[in-house]
Amino acid sequence: MDGLLQASWFLLLGFHLIIKNRTELAIMGLGVDSATANKLRIAGHTLSKLKLSSPRKLLELGLSEANIKLLCRSKRPPIPPQTLSKVLCANRWSCCVCRTPERSIVVHHIKPWATSRDHSPENLAVVCSLHHGKVHSKFELEQNLTPKLLAQQKLYWESYCQQADLRLAMKDSHLRLNTWFYFNHLRIHEMARELNLNFKTVAGYLDAKKSNICNASGAVVKSCPEGRFLYSDGDRLILYDYISSMFFTCLERGNIFNISDYLDRGLLKTQLICGDIIMVQGLHTFTPVKPRPKGSDISKVWRKSNRVNVSSVINLEDSTSSSAWSVWLRGQQNVCVISKVRNIKRVGDNILIETTALAIRSHDDDFKHRAYDDRLWQSGLPFRDEHPDNGNEDESEI
């Protein structure tokens, strides 16, 4: 299978080993490959213990002479765990040259540390053990993996990974009449203005303006009938075509990060910042907000797992259909929520990510593949399922 085609397949299906355990990251920070770091951590070794071991013992543990030199004699500080985590995530834990996710990986300095003293993400490339060997070798009959070529491969692969989540979010967009349950009209218009979108170029704008659904500046001005939702009138298809086109155009111009499989405190603290667009699929709980403004239908939507809580507040008036308003946006539902990060804070042992929901769509098998209770052991992290069956959020946990 072609490397890029294989990479596309694995990115969509999520088949890559995710390294987040701090012990493994610390060991990898000194140039040890991921497979060896994983074995050492499982065997009970830490970076401190390894530094106290003799060179002979380290050889027996499977470390290379270069690794041993860094552990025992080098004054080079390890790559900071947050930087390491950021680089690994940007490369989807795969080699930027062959993009083969099942291979053990090494984080390599493009410009050698000895001359650059540079631990920045821009100088770090994720390579498999095979291509790490080629980085340190010179060939007469084949192209050498020079620092310049490696830097190019890194930039291309990280850009490709960044676009993978967008391609996933746009998947089956031609079926959007059947799959999208909610659009936040006000915030989507706000995002479009931030991106300097020309509303006249948005599909459906002219029809929406002609039907008095939006004004000249592109904002939706249609009022909601009391006790109902915006899409309950005869012009619902015009509104849907316009707002969905605006939303998809905004997504195409920005970046989006699918964190459905990455609900782990250590990773998200280093990866997310306010303003990021994220999508989360999984079991969400919709809890009515009380008190609520008169005539409104406000609900809190949240997903909590592994001590990570992603929450937002929606107005059910923006539901796209009667089934969305009455069923899919109430109780507990397996849906995908696309939102904008507003605040990230730690409360006790929990990470609370407060967001503004932009859109909610139906469950899709490609959005989330990881079963936390089956696979978190690979990184040495405990699993905690924190969605109660009764749909009531345990506020004491947050």
Hey, is 35 helix, strand or coil? helix
pLDDT tens, 22-54? 788 888 888 888 888 888 988 888 888 888 888
CA gap 293, 22 in Å, rounded: 45
CA gap 267, 44 in Å, rounded: 22
Apex 342 CA angle, 198 and 316, nearest 5: 75
Question: H or E stretch including 79?
Answer: none
Give 290 or 186, the one with higher predicted confidence.
186
Here the contacts of 53-62 (C-beta below 8 Å, separation 24 or greater) are 62/36
- Tell me what the pLDDT averaged over the chain comes to: 81
CA gap 382, 131 in Å, rounded: 33
CA gap 309, 355 in Å, rounded: 10
Domain ranges for the chain, please list them.
Answer: 3-167, 179-398
Lowest mean pLDDT among 59-63, 83-87, 142-146, 188-192: 142-146
Total Cβ atoms within 10 A of residue 218:
19
Contacts of 217 (CB under 8 A, 6+ apart): 199
pTM of the complete model beyond 0.95: no
CA gap 306, 383 in Å, rounded: 6
Query: Which pLDDT score is estimated for 227?
Result: 74
CA distances for 28 relative to 39, 70, 80, 121, 215, angstroms:
12, 11, 10, 15, 55
Hey, is 197 helix, strand or coil? coil
Helices 147-169 + 3-13 axis angle, to 10: 40
Query: Which pLDDT score is estimated for 116?
Result: 85
* Percent of the chain residues past pLDDT 70, beyond the cut: 82
Lowest mean pLDDT among 69-73, 93-97, 138-142: 138-142
Contacts of 272 (CB under 8 A, 6+ apart): 257, 259, 278, 341, 344, 353
Contacts of 119 (CB under 8 A, 6+ apart): 77, 79, 80, 83, 109, 113
Total Cβ atoms within 10 A of residue 283:
14
CA gap 141, 256 in Å, rounded: 42
CA gap 232, 284 in Å, rounded: 25
